[in-house]
Structure 1
């Protein structure tokens, strides 16, 4: 009788954990976050978490499992993708925002909104000197270019941008 009661209690304790479903964190085609109980691909979005691999371990540091650039190639690729999608939010996801208040962040995102509307010509620079996003005038002949300089900082095992100054 006591065993049956203990078994029943254990069953009730485990029941809520079994009823929980996984939450998938995704990015929609418009660059906005999407949270779903369905896999990202089934809702037409891209997963924020990297695909699990045998080389991933818990010793990767505090950023393990988060979306961040581990090297300059990933950081450049993320910035190029943000320009291709014309998404200031994607650029914002590559920025280390510590030290910026909400008003400063909003102002920087507005500046980046106008920046990503311009066609990207090239990304120049490196970790030490930062990245210059060279853009041309929208609909122009490409002769008029502008440069937006992003400083590059390393934090928690990731490379991040600082907003153009």
Structure 2
């Protein structure tokens, strides 16, 4: 009986190991205002967390100065504008700054950022969709034949902000 209980406890411990082995991805804003992604807490890399500050406190940068407050999209218009600006700048990191990375390990995030890098190289034709259905980034297909490609992003509300989910 004791052996069975010990075996069950050991199995329970082993089952939790993959969850602990996967490091969290911290979404931060660097002192230059650019998104920073790290497996370390934002403060330890000299950046500010993008998660909203507790109610009643004013957001601040890592140097203690007040921030602009634009750490995440408060509505669908801001989310679309941020995505359009990321395409205009051809910046996969800017797209990454709009994504809620919860549940993604570092390798999953890296793979998705590589996908974003290829995506933002294509000219953006339109952004279609809404909060419930998600947003499709419609781009010109390579080759200039007039075709288009679609990349679907889910949209989720978390911590008072709207975020994209990585394409599935």
Both structures adopt the same fold (TM-score exceeding 0.5): yes
- Using structure 2 for the length normalisation, give the TM-score: 0.61
| Residue number in structure 2 paired with 1:58 | 56
Residue 140 of structure 1: how far off its partner (Å): 1.6
- The answer to which of 83-92 and 132-141 deviates more is 132-141
* Whole-angstrom CA distance in 1 between matches of 2:75 and 2:35: 24
- Using structure 1 for the length normalisation, give the TM-score: 0.62
Q: Which has the larger radius of gyration?
A: 1
| Residue number in structure 1 paired with 2:117 | 113
| Residue number in structure 1 paired with 2:7 | none
* Whole-angstrom CA distance in 2 between matches of 1:116 and 1:92: 11
* Whole-angstrom CA distance in 2 between matches of 1:157 and 1:59: 15
1:132-143 alignment, distance < 5 Å: 132-138=136-142, 140-141=144-145, 143=146
Runs of 5+ unmatched residues, structure 2: 1-29, 37-47, 49-54, 60-67
* Whole-angstrom CA distance in 1 between matches of 2:158 and 2:85: 22
CA deviation map 1:46-100 (0-9, x unaligned): xx9xxxxxxxx83799xx9461000000000000000000000000000000100
| Runs of 4+ with deviation above 6 angstroms | none
- Match of residue 89, structure 1, among 80, 87, 93: 93
| Number of positions where the alignment pairs a residue of Structure 1 with one of Structure 2 | 115
What's the Cα RMSD here?
Answer: 2.8
Matched, 1:74 2:78: yes
Runs of 5+ unmatched residues, structure 1: 1-23, 34-47, 49-56
